[in-house]
Every structure is written in structure tokens, then in C-alpha cells.
């Protein structure tokens, strides 16, 4: 199965509107054939940036959303509210799990909310350094994945993007080796496959954690890794475009 490579930039709490605009222009003006690109700016920039993007291969994503459509949820944003401006939503990022106490059940409800709004979830899973050292990495990933997949049907699983992001590799400069990243990507695809075999063949599995223009090609050369979720390097158009080009098949 040939899956279209996907490179996602997670800008986190960075960029002014002027910086976000310049970054977006630097990316849309460098088209990369055969690679899908998703830019995830801070919430307010989704609206103005949506007007800048005409390349069908570049889409916007949100960095998170709430699990409910409306109600007394001060400060939260529903998937339905952002749906007119983006096609993807990151859910379960380790920073949300660690800093906001988000557990697997809430992340699963967010996956459902994203799909109900007609958007595609980018579900982040990943073990901590302590969990890896204890030999629990696979158990953690399976639990995170299974909770989120529980209620999904075949069509929903086929659209899903799963980002394997070991917590110890995020923002540290210490990326997983291609072998370790690929082993976990394969485990993730097997797990999706156990739920719906044909759907698992089209779901995309990304690696995230200190991806740079120097290590991207080796990571992408492995069978089950379909692209990357990029934090730091996505804030520099030259670096990010280099990673996009490395994803060309
Ligand atoms: C991330 O935050 O999802 C991430 C992968 O960050 P970085 O690329 O900076 O490690």
C-alpha cells in the first residue's frame, strides 16, 4: 500500500501573526510533489492563515480541541468551531497529557469529537524515559492507542493519523533511532490492523521527536513511518521544507 507521506508542523505557543504569515508563505511557496503538509499554528492564526493557503497539498491543523461541542467549558475550543478553517487536529500531545493532566479517556473522547466535526485526528502516543527504561514502552503505547480506537469504525481508522512521539525525544535533540522508531510504528500498525486490517493499511503513522533535516531521510526510509510530526524545526521554513523534501518518495 502506497500511503501519501505526511509532514506536520506543530508551532505550539510560538509565532506572532506576522511570523506565522511569513512562515506559511515560506512553506506554500515551496511546493513539494507527492507530500501532504499540515501546519498547526496557535488557534487565532487559523483564521487568517486559511485565506493564504491555496495549495491542496498544504492544510491547516489545530493543536488541540475540547471533547464537547458546546457548554460551560471556559477557555476551550470545540472541533466544530475550528472546522471551517482546518482539516486536522492534534490530540493527546504529550504536553497536553503532562501539563493539563489529559488521560487516555479524555483523549479518546477528543478523537471522537474531531471525527464528528468531519476533521482528521492526529493522535499522539508515546512513552516517557522512565517507562522505556522499565521495559513498559509497548504496553503504554498499546493502552494509549486502544483507548482511542475503541469506538472507531473501519472508515475512521483508515483516516486516522497516529504520531509516535516518545516523550524523551521531544524537544531534546535526541531523536529515536530509525530502528526504534520503526519498531514502534510497526507495532502501532499491527494494533490498528488487529482492529480493522484493511483500514490499517491506509492509516498514516508518523514519527515525532527532534526530527531535523539531517535525520528525516533515515526515519522516512523505514516501511511503517509515513512522515513526521515536527516541533522545533517546523518554525524555520528552510528546515521544515528540507524535511518535507526528505519525505518525497
Ligand atoms: C512535538 O512537540 O511534537 C515535537 C515533535 O517537537 P520537536 O520536534 O521539537 O521534538
pLDDT at residue 150 in the model: 87
The residue-averaged pLDDT of 125-143 equals: 98
The DSSP element (H or E) to which 204 belongs, if any, is strand 204-208
For residue 1, pLDDT over 60 is answered with: no
How far is 80 from 112, CA to CA, in rounded Å?
Answer: 12
Give residue 73's pLDDT band: very low, low, confident or very high (50, 70, 90): very high
Cα distance between residue 20 and residue 39, in whole Å: 10
179 labelled catalytic: no
3-state secondary structure of 51: coil
Closest atom of ligand 1 to CA, residue 232: 9
Q: Of 223 and 205, which is predicted with more confidence?
A: 205
For residue 218, the model assigns a pLDDT of 97
Q: Report the alpha-carbon distance of residue 151 to residue 121 in Å, rounded.
A: 14
**pLDDT tens for each residue of 2-34:** 899 999 999 999 999 999 999 999 999 999 999
Contact 204, 211 (CB under 8 A): no
**123 φ, ψ (degrees, to nearest 5):** -85, 120
Q: Is residue 174 pLDDT above 80, yes or no? A: yes
- What predicted TM-score, i.e. pTM, was given to this entire model? 0.97
Q: Ligand 1 centre and the CA of 41: distance in Å?
A: 14
Predicted confidence band of residue 234 (pLDDT cuts 50, 70, 90): very high
The Cβ-side half-sphere exposure at 41, using a 13 Å CA radius, reads 23
219 burial level (CB within 10 Å; 0-12, 13-18, 19+): buried
List of E strands, 97-148? 120-125
Homologous superfamily (CATH) of 6-248 is: Aldolase class I (3.20.20.70)
Measured in Å, residue 215 CA sits from the centre of ligand 1 at: 14
Question: What residue's CA is closest to ligand 1, atom 2?
Answer: 231
Spans of all domains in the chain: 6-248
Question: Does 93 qualify as catalytic in the annotation?
Answer: yes
Report the distance separating Cα 83 and Cα 116, nearest Å: 10
Q: Would the CB of 94 count as within 6 Å of ligand 1?
A: no
Average pLDDT over residues 214-233: 96
CA distance 183 to 224: 8
pLDDT above 80 for 120: yes
Q: Ligand 1 mean position to 25 CA, how many Å?
A: 21
Q: How confident is the model at residue 55 (pLDDT cuts 50, 70, 90)?
A: confident
Q: Which of 95, 102, 127, 165 is flagged as catalytic?
A: 165
Predicted confidence band of residue 166 (pLDDT cuts 50, 70, 90): very high
Neighbours of 62 (CB within 10 A): 25
Cβ contact 52:24 at 8 Å: yes
What average pLDDT does the chain have?
A: 96
Amino acid at each position: 500500500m502506497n500511503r501519501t507521506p505526511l509532514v506536520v508542523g506543530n508551532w505550539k505557543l510560538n509565532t506572532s501573526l506576522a511570523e506565522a504569515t511569513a512562515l506559511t508563505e515560506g512553506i506554500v511557496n515551496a511546493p513539494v510533489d507527492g507530500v501532504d503538509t499540515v501546519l498547526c499554528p496557535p488557534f487565532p492564526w487559523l483564521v487568517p492563515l486559511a485565506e493564504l493557503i491555496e495549495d491542496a497539498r498544504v492544510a491547516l491543523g489545530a493543536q488541540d480541541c475540547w471533547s464537547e461541542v458546546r457548554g460551560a467549558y471556559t477557555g476551550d475550543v470545540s472541533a466544530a468551531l475550528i472546522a471551517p478553517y482546518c482539516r486536522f487536529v492534534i490530540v493527546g500531545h504529550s504536553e497536553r497529557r503532562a501539563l493539563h493532566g489529559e488521560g487516555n479517556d479524555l483523549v479518546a473522547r477528543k478523537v471522537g469529537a474531531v471525527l464528528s466535526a468531519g476533521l482528521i485526528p492526529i493522535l499522539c502516543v508515546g512513552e516517557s524515559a522512565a517507562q522505556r527504561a522499565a521495559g513498559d514502552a509497548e504496553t503504554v503505547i498499546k493502552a494509549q492507542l486502544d483507548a482511542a480506537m475503541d469506538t472507531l469504525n473501519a472508515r475512521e481508522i483508515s483516516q486516522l493519523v497516529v504520531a509516535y512521539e516518545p516523550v524523551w525525544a521531544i524537544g531534546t535533540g535526541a531523536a529515536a533511532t530509525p530502528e526504534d522508531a520503526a519498531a514502534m510504528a510497526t507495532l502501532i500498525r499491527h494494533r490498528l490492523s488487529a482492529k480493522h486490517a484493511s483500514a490499517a493499511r491506509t492509516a498514516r503513522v508518523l514519527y515525532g521527536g527532534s526530527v531535523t533535516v539531517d535525520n528525516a531521510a533515515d526515519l522516512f526510509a523505514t516501511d511503517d513511518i509515513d512522515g513526521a510530526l515536527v516541533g522545533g524545526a517546523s518554525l524555520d521554513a528552510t528546515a521544515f521544507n528540507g524535511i518535507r523534501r526528505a519525505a518525497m518518495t
